[in-house]
Structure 1
């Protein structure tokens, strides 16, 4: 697996480009409004992007959805419970970052247990609501890798004081979906640095509740 991370918006949101060794890939959470740098990487590495996916649809994770979808002509996939957040993201982007962006309906919906295949890699969709109603993580078992969005960070978890958030639901998501994963699982979060499930099991007070 090859992973490139971009952190370009004012809120420090991570965008990931992921591919197998043959160049088949996907983009996770296009988080800034000008995706030129991502598109240049895709061209330079001769990547064949198959999907754009959102772990959830808070505005800072979807700012580049439309530019990237238009440029690559590939489907955008989200959890259906995130649709209201996606369709209002342009308003939040203008309010918080003074950015004018376009948001529109996705091409398809993700549900727990779905498997996204990009070449030789397989990502299972884990439903992890709590930070937002339809938050998901993407878990690649063969590579022991998890893209956790804002469900799990190094040492903490996503905020639950936002509209539509639910703290007890987030703890249930940790317990039911992430706690069972192997300690060696690498975690690539929506903000800040990488971690592992084992590290979070040892030190994360929220994860410990699981």
Structure 2
């Protein structure tokens, strides 16, 4: 069966360090006609469940644990029986949103998740958050970047648990080494490509010093 990528946009709020902002998030659903994984269960478990269209949900993968990327994860897990997977370095952030419910499993650098016969490799890309990860699917010429890389630059690093030189290093060493035609499917906003973002690296490095 043919693998496909569906994008659902959900709306809610992002809260950290005493502030709250309205946001729209990309929820990525990767799978075939029978099974799928969800990347970042944001805001609306019911809408995500509807978008699955009856497919078996194999995993709920969290690119990081800011509340706007994980707030619907427990409800979606309860509704589907799918495990919530998170890199352990982001547990302090997770507990701010879900103090009484732990993730079901850990993500590790180099780990391979398979859905619909397609492999997605976990890339640990700290900086926006300590446990931030991206998922690289070479067969789909796609990397799901969470909030690590956007159209026009790195994710935000002005709040707790973030570090600008670290995110620049993650992008340089883990993402810009991917083929330039790789589509970057981001946590918010429109996709870009590795080739479009690579020329800006020197500028980002200067900003980091």
Aligned pairs for 1:74-153 within 5 A: 74-89=82-97, 104-153=101-150
How far off its partner does 1:119 sit?
Answer: 2.4
Contact 2:165/2:205 (CA < 8 Å) preserved in 1? no
| 1:206 equivalenced with 2:187 (yes/no) | no
CA distance in 1, matches of 2:40, 2:68: 9
Secondary structure at the residue paired with 2:172?
A: helix
In structure 2, what is the equivalent of residue 31 of structure 1? 42
Calculate the TM-score normalised by the size of structure 1.
0.87
Cα RMSD after superposing both structures: 2.0
Larger strand proportion of the pair: 2
Aligned partners of 2:191 and 2:168: how far apart in 1?
20
Number of positions where the alignment pairs a residue of Structure 1 with one of Structure 2: 195
The answer as to whether partners of 1:66 and 1:103 remain within 8 angstroms in 2 is no
Deviation sequence 1:123-170 (CA, Å, 0-9, x none): 000010000001000000111110000000000211111101011111
Which runs of structure 1 show a deviation greater than 3 angstroms over 4 or more consecutive aligned residues?
202-205
- TM value normalised by structure 2: 0.87
CA–CA distance in structure 1, aligned partners of residues 94 and 195 of structure 2: 32
Structure 1, unpaired ranges of 5+: 91-101
- Mapped partners of 1:190, 1:121: distance in 2: 21
